[in-house]
Amino acid sequence: MDAKLFKEFAQPASQYRAKPFWSWNGKLEPQELRRQIRIFRDMGFGGFFMHSRVGLDTAYLSKEWFDCIRTCIDEARAIGTETWLYDEDRWPSGAAGGMVTKDERYRQRYLTVTRYDDAKKFKWSPRTLAAFTARLDGKVAHDVQAVARNKRPKLEPGHTLLSFQVALTDPSPWFNGYTYLDVLNPQAVRQFIKVTHEAYRREVGKDFGKLVPGIFTDEPCYGWPAPDRVPWTDKLPAFFQRRCGYDLVDHLMELFFDVASLGISHARWSYFGCLTDLFVQSFARPIFEFCQASGIAFTGHLMSEDTPMGQAGFVGSAMRSYEYMQAPGMDLLTEHWRAYATAKQVTSVARQMGSKWRLTETNGCTGWDFSFEGSKALGDWQAAMGINVRCPHLSWYTMLGEAKRDYPGSIFYQSPWWQQYQTLETYFARINAVMTRGTEVRDLLVIHPIESAWTVSLPGYKMSPEGTDLDTTFDGEIRTLLAGQLDFDFGEEEMLSRLAKVRKAAAPGQG
């Protein structure tokens, strides 16, 4: 062992130590912030993520807010730890606590379907994209016929008229009376970057890349599946036309039903491909490029990243977004979830793109009785998969009000064992100090089945037999490989088409 590595192993630096979610869930006071940062150091942590949370009583992104951010950076400078940013008021990331989505142009959209058994009740409106008639049998549609614009058909016995229209997401208290962001709209995301990321660069940019290594994005997604709606954005039909060469509006039935005469729907597969491209190019890539230019890392994790069917409904393909993260990450909820596939997705892209750091938001939803043994068990298997930045969930600023019910327990001074916690953190920091050196060797490539998931993904049918079988088979094959000590990378098909090379193997004896 060389002297430098031995020193790092004996006393791991802050970069190798965990950075917990620090839940800012009350009235922020500079001296209390400083006191708690010193507790983090004493617990063996190497920094913290400053995370707006339920109960916050300091105006988000206000002058007072940034004064508190600078206070934390100043204290971290004094004691030698890191200060990580978080890009949202609560989660999911994108709306800046509703500041961006006050403007309706930037609000999340859906395509919804309304069914009419009596055609006389149907009326065309400016938001109606198309209408069809069909005979429905569960999720299967027979005898599908398009309805001419501004016409009202006569329904055959047993048939239904289906109207497709674009709608805005309803305002919600969660977004402070506004809505989530249209993450498929580049203009909307640019406004999010302006309100959030550019404000941080203006206020604390001199410390970017040093005391402020990166910024966390939390569960961005293009929609929440429901039986009567699918994700949408206003420019999707034109984007689809350019990319695929035909009109998506003619195929809207295929986004909601299996059309009996078609088998696998090419339009549905192309629709998810377009959603994924728009999500990656509109959201992930611009933030990645901002971070690259600013000298900080874009990190965090996506919504519903664990299974192929979950990804289809929320983000398209998680691995394509990881490509545009300097430190791609994952979420791990509960003590018993073994999200091997999620870790493998993260570390595969990180290795393929040359990213040193791979994050986990870990230990969420474990409860007050979560033990050191449980935390070590979760950390051990993630480290074995190549995860090397731990973000423990959650450290509460206060237990006042609703905060005490916010996904406990608190990995912080509220727990009686906090002074012993440094033993656990030093253990993982030593693993990270060693595991970030050297080169990973994986000779096996497993093709990720995400595009197959697109073909069987329907709103409200997430747990369809086809989807359940795909997710179950996917998980089983991964566990079989790992149980057999066969390490591997995932290969995402579209990424392979752009980034991969086929290289002739050297002849025996030639190295």
Mean pLDDT of the chain: 95
DSSP string, 126-149: TTEEEEEEEEEETTEEEEEEEPPT
103 within some domain = no
Q: Are 223 and 184 in contact (CB under 8 A)?
A: no
422 within some domain = yes
pLDDT at site 260 = 95
pLDDT tens for 379-431 read 999 999 999 999 999 999 999 988 878 988 899 999 999 999 999 999 999 99
- How far is the C-alpha of 384 from the C-alpha of 388, rounded, in Å? 9
Do residues 295 and 387 both lie within one domain?
Answer: yes
What is the DSSP-derived secondary structure letter of residue 107?
B
The number of domains in the chain is 2
Name the 3-class secondary structure at 395: strand
pLDDT tens for 83-111 read 999 999 999 999 999 999 999 999 999 99
482 within some domain = yes
Name the 3-class secondary structure at 289: helix
- How far is the C-alpha of 313 from the C-alpha of 438, rounded, in Å? 37
pTM: 0.96
Looking at 185-322, which runs of residues are DSSP E strands? 214-218, 229-232, 258-259, 297-301
pLDDT tens for 227-236 read 899 999 999 9
| Residue 12, amino acid | P
DSSP β-bridge partners for residue 109: 168, 232
52 confidence band (pLDDT: 50, 70, 90)? very high
- How far is the C-alpha of 92 from the C-alpha of 357, rounded, in Å? 22
Tell me the CATH number at 235. 3.20.20
Do residues 90 and 121 both lie within one domain?
Answer: no
pLDDT tens for 107-158 read 999 999 999 999 999 999 999 999 999 999 999 999 999 999 999 899 999 9
pLDDT at site 409 = 86
Backbone angles phi, psi at 232, to 5 degrees: -155, 160
Do residues 18 and 161 both lie within one domain?
Answer: no
Name the 3-class secondary structure at 373: helix
Question: Checking phi first, is residue 219 left (phi over 0); if not, alpha (psi -120 to 50) or beta?
Answer: left
pLDDT at site 225 = 80
**Which structural domain range is residue 423 located in?**
3-94+196-496
Final residue of a structural domain among 132, 151, 168: 168
Final residue of a structural domain among 168, 186, 207: 168
Do residues 58 and 207 both lie within one domain?
Answer: yes
DSSP β-bridge partners for residue 328: 300
502 within some domain = no
